[in-house]
Amino acid sequence: MSTFQALIFDVDGTMADTERDGHRVAFNLAFAEKGLDWDWTEEIYGDLLSVTGGKERIAFFLSKYQPKQGLDADSDEQRASIIADLHAAKTRHYTDLLQKGDIPLRPGILRIITEARELGLRIAIATTTTPVNVTALLTATLGKESIDWFEVIAAGDIVPAKKPAGDIYEYALKEMNLSADNCIALEDSLNGVRSSLAANIKTVITVNGYTQDDDFSGAALVLDQLGEVDSPCKTLSSVDQLVADKVATTGYVDVAVLKSMFAA
Ligand code: XBP
Ligand code: MG
């Protein structure tokens, strides 16, 4: 039987609720800075989340919403360069927001990282967001030294195809010299679970406001959050009844629950 050796974390929506009050706000600040009158409301942003990656999301917005004020580009190359410039401004605003410390980790994330490290489990990150966004979040929430806790931070344009493709998880597995059946992925969205499952990794989902209605079939365990001693989680679905019973007893997901999921 394969052994449980590593936990691979998605970032946005899983480690922290970064989308509505982080990325979305930063995109709007970048648009204003560049003299664009675009306003990504919470509702529009929910729709735009169907496309992963900030640059790709801007391109999707332009094609789907066709704002009156478009980008002044003569060629595809120039357009890509304007989008890249806009996205760089967004990344600057986003990391500034994180530095202010307004976006905390989701319940259970610190607890499970701490426990995993104590028990010698390996931890890594697989995300579509820009690498500097990951290190800014880790620094703001766990301290700068936490960057080194993660054996691999697989992020952004390091792979050509972002989630829902499995590439970013496959990249992380390769870097860790592990196979999919040694790992569990923690995700929050349909694009995320498609990606982890494309890489054949057993997946735990914690939903959020934007993803609660996503189709998570194929995930091993779906919860509202990982839970804490004083704030129990709710199991939304579980492939294995024993795992669901275990979570119901403690009120949270810990390494013991993940191990039992593994044995299931
Ligand atoms: C979620 C995403 C990201 C961010 C934006 O990533 O789709 O694109 O919204 O990040 P994940 P960038 O859930 O995989 O962490 O603007 O830096 O691309
Ligand atoms: Mg996510």
Region 69-85 average pLDDT? 92
Taken as a whole, the chain contains a residue count of 264
Question: pLDDT (tens digit, 9 = 90+) per residue, 209-223?
Answer: 999 999 999 999 999
| Interior angle at CA 53, CA 49 and CA 54, nearest 5 | 85
The mean pLDDT value of the chain amounts to 96
Q: How far apart are CA 155 and CA 88, in angstroms?
A: 15
Q: Which of 19, 98, 129, 187 to mutate to test the pocket of ligand 1 (most atoms within 8 A of CB)?
A: 129
Q: Which two tokens stand for residue 118?
A: 């104590």
Q: Is 261 or 171 the better-scoring residue by pLDDT?
A: 171
Please provide the DSSP assignment of 100-169 as one string. Answer: TT-SPBPTTHHHHHHHHHHTT-EEEEEESS-HHHHHHHHHHHH-GGGGGG-S-EEEGGGSSS-TTSSHHH
- For residue 1, pLDDT over 90 is answered with no
187: closest CA among 160, 148, 161, 215?
215
SS3 content of the chain, % helix, strand, coil (to 5): 50, 15, 40
- For residue 19, pLDDT over 70 is answered with yes
Q: How far apart are CA 32 and CA 229, in angstroms?
A: 43
- For residue 263, pLDDT over 80 is answered with no
Ligand 1: list residues with CB < 6 Å: 10-13, 19, 23, 52-54, 91, 127-130, 133, 163, 192
Which ligand 1 atom is at minimum distance from the Cα of 13? 13
Percentage of the residues of the chain whose pLDDT score is greater than 90: 95
Catalytic site positions: 10, 12
Residues 6 or more apart whose CB falls under 8 angstroms from that of 71 comprise 62, 79, 82, 83
| 121 band by pLDDT with thresholds 50, 70 and 90 | very high
Q: Which two tokens stand for residue 260?
A: 């039992």
Beta strands 221-223 and 235-238 are antiparallel
- For residue 139, pLDDT over 90 is answered with yes
Region 85-96 average pLDDT? 98
Region 33-51 average pLDDT? 97
Region 231-260 average pLDDT? 96
- For residue 73, pLDDT over 90 is answered with no
Q: What pLDDT score does 57 carry?
A: 98
pTM over 0.85: yes
Q: What pLDDT score does 262 carry?
A: 82
Q: Decide if 123 contacts 134 (C-beta within 8 A).
A: no
Q: Which ligand is nearest to the CA of 59?
A: 1
Q: Decide if 149 contacts 113 (C-beta within 8 A).
A: yes
Q: Tokens 């044995």: give the residue.
A: 263
Q: Tokens 């931890």: give the residue.
A: 123
10: closest CA among 107, 118, 97, 129?
129
Measured by CA distance, the residue closest to atom 1 of ligand 1 is: 12
Q: What pLDDT score does 2 carry?
A: 80
Which ligand 1 atom is at minimum distance from the Cα of 10? 15
Measured by CA distance, the residue closest to atom 10 of ligand 1 is: 129
